[in-house]
Amino acid sequence: MPHDTSDTPSVSAPSLVGEEYEVEVGPVAHGGHCIARTDAGRVLFVRHSLPGEKVIAKITEGDETSRFLRADAVRILAPAKDRVEAPCPFSGPGRCGGCDWQHVKPGAQRRFKGEVIAEQLQRLAGLTPEEAGWDGTVMPAEGDKVPAGQVPAWRTRVQYAIDADGRAGLRRHRSHEIERIDHCMIAAPGVDELGVEKREWPGMASVEAIAATGSHDRQVVLTPRPGARLPLVELDRPVSVLRVDEHDAGVHRVHGRAFVRERADGRTYRVGNGGFWQVHPQAADTLVKAVMQGLMPRKGETALDLYCGVGLFAGAIAERVGEQGAVLGVESSKRAVEDARHNLDDLPRVRIEHGRVDRILPRTGITETDLIVLDPPRAGAGKQTVRHLASLAPRRIAYVACDPAALARDLAYFREEGYRTRTLRAFDLFPMTHHVECVAILEPAAKGS
């Protein structure tokens, strides 16, 4: 199955944008679309389609020299049984790009995500689901099992783009164009209650709305256009306001708290200046539980929490290894490091270092550890970091991944370094989109042989 990578069109080749083809739709691919081929053999990545359908696909990107073309299914000639009428009025070809699978039954969405994970594991790591210790299922989060035609309202952070008239919307797929909306169906109730879409935002480029699930904290982060003044923010609920500085790209408090309070695994976490926290309200607890079940920390053990953010996994491990244990967290975001140190201040056995993992780890002098948890960015950890982690000879590693392709690549690197995938679990923490979260537990291959 072709991998979804960007293709750079030739400057001189004739554009095919707007051309239409009648095609039979093939398998789902990584990236929220399906594969199809024209009669001439051209590969199409077709959004708003389903495997087995016959559709009219309209080209949205590509020219005569492109390795593949991007397209939208603009007419469905023979629908699949898993197709539903998209509940969202802003979804569809050429419309909002926030969701990929509004037109698909919830159970089928999870099945397709499972097929993508399996394909990436096989192609990039040479692993079958059985070899990865995975039963092939993608588990819904608690409360997300809704009937076909309904949408779980899960997104606790929504970044609205603001158009030239100062009205809120969401960007169209792979575009700077803005689809004006009056309601986002996947936005959590706390975000919806703020009413960002109901008012005007003159001079703003974007407005991020944040509704904490561990508290009643609400926050908006404003990004002004160059030279614009901040508007007076009057929303439907009490809210703190932050702004992104156009000169240093830093986030500064305008009024209210500079942070929101989130809660997971029995602890409260401060997340400052619009910093990273899992978007789904059940995600933090779901992932902590999966990681702890996989690592099974023991009293007195040492552990590394890499790309640790505000300290979610470091805190969970520290509670379990006890006073004789030790946990080192590494994080590149300065503000997240400040938050992590604050959040885990009651746990003296935790140390948080600021910097890139590939630079900080060699400087620590650490030559061995019992446990490692890593939650890298979408690009993955990479070969050199994997090699370093394996050299520390941990008894178990928990790899939390938001991208199955990066996960598969890194699992292959771990195998080269003598680590096998003991178990893999997948969670549908981004319903209606193509994104999926995985937790892989690794151990020395000799132990499993």
Nearest-CA neighbor of 412 among 375, 443, 449, 383? 383
Nearest-CA neighbor of 402 among 32, 34, 117? 117
Dmax of the chain from CA atoms?
67
Q: Could you tell me if 404 and 377 are in contact, meaning their C-beta atoms sit under 8 angstroms apart?
A: no
Count of alpha carbons within 13 Å of 230, Cβ hemisphere only? 18
Q: Which of 88, 184, 308, 402 is catalytic?
A: 402
Q: Distance between CA 69 and CA 260 in Å, rounded?
A: 42
Nearest-CA neighbor of 307 among 215, 402, 220, 392? 402
402 catalytically annotated: yes
Q: Give residues with Cβ within 8 angstroms of 242, minimum separation 6.
A: 219, 220, 221, 222, 251, 252, 253, 254, 258, 273, 274
Backbone region of residue 205 per phi and psi (left: phi > 0; alpha: psi in -120 to 50; beta: other values): alpha
Within 10 angstroms of residue 366's Cβ, the number of other Cβ atoms is 13
Residues noted as catalytic: 402
